[in-house]
Amino acid sequence: LCDMSISTSNSTISTRDSGRMSTPRGRSGNRNGTIWDGRSIDIELPKWLLSDNAVKDHLRYHLTGSPRGRKTIFSQIYGKTNCTLKMPSHDNVIRIETTPGKFAIESLRKAKIELENIFLDYLNHDGCIGRLFYDLASSCQYLHPQRGRTCVYQRNPWQPNEMGYMTVIEVPYSHDDNKSHTFHLLSKESRTLSRVRSVGCTIRIVDKRGRVKTNWVACKPYVWVWGHKPGDVDDAVQILND
């Protein structure tokens, strides 16, 4: 049997912070952090993305390897942003470092965006990208300070030039047949989709067999919620919990 409530690891429908907060290093020259004496930031990669050592090693080679003498992806990002990227072997983080100065925060932000774009290509725009973008932003409060009760301000991975508020809700599924249980969200009787649209939001249901598919084994089925106001996304989460 499968529990039909939609929940995350903490409580019903409330989304979890799926990684530790980003770790700014160095000394800020003023309260808004525009002048720094050296700065780096750690972007934590979600556990579902690095499900085992083989997956982690493959990703590391993709980012740091230089096939046929070409520049590594990290080197390409440095050329665009003047930021150095490192992937320590002992931790599931990517460290972004830049030189001191009033533009340091903007350089870090640009490097993180370049990294996200690399992930879009690496994952071949698989349905897991919604969860990935949410997880990266949630773990990186310093670069993503704008938040609602359940959501975070981030780029839309399906339309990367669009900014808005997003959240991710895990969907219950049966381990026996690997099917997610989303019929209660899609049924006309529940009017869930129309109610979500009425508060200015849209959702994508991502699973192994749905309209938006994920082939990433460790990415569990989820609902991706998107809107342009944090209160609207919070309201949509409440509707999905009804």
Q: Whole-angstrom Cα distance, residue 157 to residue 129?
A: 6
**Which residue from 49, 75, 14 is spatially nearest to 233, judged by alpha carbons?**
14
Q: Whole-angstrom Cα distance, residue 65 to residue 150?
A: 37
Q: Whole-angstrom Cα distance, residue 134 to residue 102?
A: 27
Q: Whole-angstrom Cα distance, residue 173 to residue 207?
A: 9
Which pLDDT does position 91 carry in this prediction? 85
* Interior angle at CA 205, CA 117 and CA 240, nearest 5: 120
DSSP E strands in 45-88: the ranges are 84-86
Residues 150 and 14 sit within 8 Å (Cβ to Cβ): yes
Q: Going residue by residue through the chain (242 aa), what tens digit of pLDDT does each one get? A: 333 333 333 323 333 333 333 444 443 433 333 333 458 889 999 999 998 899 999 999 999 997 777 899 999 999 999 999 999 888 899 999 998 888 888 999 999 999 999 999 999 999 999 999 999 999 888 889 999 999 999 999 999 999 999 999 988 765 555 555 555 566 555 688 889 999 999 999 998 877 789 999 899 889 999 999 999 999 999 998 87
Partners of 155 in the β-ladder = 163
**Which residue from 11, 6, 9 is spatially nearest to 196, judged by alpha carbons?**
6
Which pLDDT does position 241 carry in this prediction? 82
Cβ-in-10-Å burial (0-12, 13-18, 19+) of 71 comes to exposed
- Phi and psi at 84, nearest 5°, equal -95, 130
Ordered alpha helix ranges (H), 19-66? 53-64
Residues 162 and 156 sit within 8 Å (Cβ to Cβ): yes
Ordered alpha helix ranges (H), 126-174? 129-138
CA atoms within 13 A on the CB side of 198: 8
Q: Whole-angstrom Cα distance, residue 220 to residue 170?
A: 7
